[in-house]
Structure 1
Amino acid sequence: MRPWALVTWLANADTIRVFKMNKKEDGSNSFQPLADDFPKKHKAPVINIGIAETGKFIMSVSSDTTIIIWTLKGEVLSIINTNQMNNTYAVISPCSRFVGSCGFTPDAKVWEICFSKSGQFREVARAFELKGHTAGIHFLAFSSDSCRMATVSKDGKWKLWATDVDYKQQQDPYLLLTGLYDEAAIMPCILALSPDAQVLALASSNNIRLFNTKRGEEEENFHKVHGECVAEMTFDTTGRFLASCGDRVVRVFHNTTGQRAIVEEIRGLLKRGPTETTRQRLNQQLVQAQANLKRLGAAKV
């Protein structure tokens, strides 16, 4: 979908403002604010906002227990009470179907934002919960296809979940892997999940660690990447790069952990005895991935 709007939270004005993208005569783009800001509905500070990839709705979450689903014009579609005592984070899934939230309680909650075939909003329905942590959850993230989710908790652990389930048939998400992240027990932290869910990035203070989600092993550790705490992280759509922001600076890292995961996956596929055509294609991909690692000066190729 071609981007057409920029959604912002104005802390001083305590409101959401949408800027519409306009094409200029010289071919460049400019952003102009819509006539009216969103009404002030939150009673606590907003901690995250997001816009669905489909462009059908906007989500805002505040630090109490409130999530609001809006139209792009600022009309309230639904107000969700998470019942988590307080929210620490909420996010829209890349498929635009779900909103996931976490907070003081040890369970992450996911809702489905339901629209009719004609595009009319119908309801917000409870989809499923991720149960297994023993303390409040700092942060959660989806993979690009929304089939995997990751959480990190005050219990000092991170977890990877399979969420490609039919919850309407009473199927529950299931745990794939649990890893250790001691920093989470003593300070707030954030995470990012690579598009293919093969790499988990965790940040606390101004340090970032990258984990392989097949074995739960830490493979990269970047110290003091910002002068202040890491405020946000994200992988690009290809999974080749990880970007972090903090202290008004954005830093971009090569995802060598992801390249190693690709090598490992291809080698596993080759051991299964594929057809000759498939073998040739896999070998080409393997050579390319190994060349990328060599170019980056990464070990374990």
Structure 2
Amino acid sequence: MEIAALIALTLIIGALLILVAVTVGKQKGEISEQNEQTENLIAEENSVKTSVSKKLKQDKQRPRKEKPQQHTFSHPLVASSLKSHSANVTCLDFSSNGKYLASCADDRTVRIWSTRDFLDRDHKCLRANVELDHATLVRFSPDSRAFITWLANGDTIRIFKMIKKEDGSFNFKAAPEDFPQRHKANIINIGIAETGKFIMSAYTDTTILIWDLKGEVLASITTNQMTNSYAAISPCGRFVASCGFTPDVKVWEVCFGKSGEFREVSRAFDLKGHSAGVHSFSFSNDSRRMATVSKDGTWRLWDTDVEYKKQQDPYLLLSVPCQSSDGSLVALSPDARVVAVSNGCDVAMYDAATGRLEEEFHGVHGVEITDLRFDINSRFLVSSGDRAIRVFHNSPGYRAAIRDMQAMLKKAQNEGMKQRLQQQIQEAQSALDTVLAEPKD
């Protein structure tokens, strides 16, 4: 009995020991597992911290993606660079009163600049927003109180009125309705006649439309040039001209009656003589001179002060070799003393009397030049292409004016005339000296 009881007690004690051992082992396993999980969590946390630290370090080392750098250009004759646009400038236009320069760009704005600020360090401008679209072309009205734009997406003309406030600034109000769409080809230019009687829109096919100011089409011109490369209204407001694939420039007169009613568009004259297609052309302020630039590698100056109704043809005055390419523009100064020609991103300025190359500017813009024109006083040449508008002093114009007045002085017989010419020569020379001596940034 005692032996049996002893065996039973031994078994019970053994079972208890086994149970205790199992329990202790299980607790150790759980503790070990917990420790292992904790160690894994710590290791994972450290790994994340290291990864974040590395990423932050890499971000510090990696340069940030910045906006495209503005193209830089400098030259002693640069009067200023106008830089408020945030996208490439596509078109420029001076107002008839000479006070303003309008510019439009792909940033959905039209900017109005004061020409009085061209020589200042700061260049403020007024901003007109083009709602739900952007303008590719802009032209001032003859009274400088409005401007028209060509809408890139709308493919039509929108008129903006400039409303002057008491503080001298402007509000810009778009007309209630845009012009109707009348043609599907790509636009190349628009214009308003200085007479205020009509608006022109020209397209890349062979079409030019003549509109009244309310958006009604008065006439449609077919140029028969296979394609149009450029078209414009003359500064006098009487003529519309176009050039293109053919080696000539065709000029029409837009005729109105005495009471202002539209009558017809009649052929006036042609500029013939280039041996290849004409890229573009430009009128002098009185429309008595025209300049052309062609694929044949020349620019030409023409006397257009002719009796075209008696079949008199314009006279060729100069033919000068130059660098040109598709998209080249020519600008004739309003006083007809200087010719400027663009070639890609470069500009060359020539004396219109002799054809002599006076100035060359290379890499003016970061992209091909989109517009090139003189202000109405022939003091400045402006160009567009990238986000900046370059304003150049027209030093060739000053030199040409001095030369012309010196020639007049030799022929002057009246003492009063001699004194006036001498004073004007001194003033022009002083202005030129100031331009050439100006310190540049």
Q: Which residue of 1 aligns with 2:255?
A: 114
More displaced 10-residue stretch of structure 1: 288-297 or 157-166:
288-297
Aligned length: 296
Separation in 1 of the partners of 2:345 and 2:202?
24
More displaced 10-residue stretch of structure 1: 288-297 or 20-29:
20-29
Separation in 2 of the partners of 1:15 and 1:125?
25
Q: Which residue of 1 aligns with 2:151?
A: 10
| Structure (1 or 2) with the greater helix fraction | 2
Return the offset for 1:27: 5.1
Unaligned runs of 5+ in 2: 1-141
Pairwise CA RMSD: 1.4
More displaced 10-residue stretch of structure 1: 286-295 or 253-262:
286-295
1:89-143 CA distance string (max 9 Å, x none): 0000111000111000001000001111111111111100000101000001100
Task: Tell me if 1:250 matches 2:365.
Answer: no
TM-score (norm 2): 0.65
Instruction: Find the partner of 2:406 among 264, 267, 276.
Output: 267
Structure 1 residues 213-232: aligned runs within 5 Å: 213-232=352-371
Partner of 1:279: helix, strand, or coil?
helix
* Structure 1 segments of 4+ aligned residues over 6 angstroms from their partners: none
Return the offset for 1:12: 1.1
Separation in 2 of the partners of 1:127 and 1:276?
43
The structure with more radius of gyration: 2
Task: Tell me if 1:291 matches 2:430.
Answer: yes
Separation in 1 of the partners of 2:263 and 2:169?
37
Q: Which residue of 2 aligns with 1:132?
A: 273
1:194-242 CA distance string (max 9 Å, x none): 0111100101111111000111010000111111111101111110111
Return the offset for 1:25: 5.8
Partner of 1:201: helix, strand, or coil?
strand
Return the offset for 1:168: 0.8
1:154-210 CA distance string (max 9 Å, x none): 0001111111111111111111111111x22x4430011101111001011111110
Structure 1 residues 153-172: aligned runs within 5 Å: 153-172=294-313
| Percent of residue pairs bearing the same amino acid type | 58
Unaligned runs of 5+ in 1: none
After superposition, the Cα gap between the structure-2 partners of 1:293 and 1:3, relative to the gap in structure 1 and judged at 3 Å, is closer
Partner of 1:234: helix, strand, or coil?
strand
Task: Tell me if 1:211 matches 2:350.
Answer: yes
Separation in 1 of the partners of 2:363 and 2:391?
14
1:39-71 CA distance string (max 9 Å, x none): 211221001111112221110101000000111
Task: Tell me if 1:98 matches 2:239.
Answer: yes
Q: Which residue of 1 aligns with 2:320?
A: 179
Matching residue's letter, 2:402: V
Separation in 1 of the partners of 2:165 and 2:432?
42
Separation in 2 of the partners of 1:60 and 1:77?
12
Matching residue's letter, 1:167: Y
Q: Which residue of 1 aligns with 2:380?
A: 241
Partner of 1:286: helix, strand, or coil?
helix
TM-score (norm 1): 0.95
Task: Tell me if 1:40 matches 2:195.
Answer: no
Q: Which residue of 2 aligns with 1:82?
A: 223
Separation in 2 of the partners of 1:200 and 1:55?
27
Separation in 2 of the partners of 1:292 and 1:47?
37
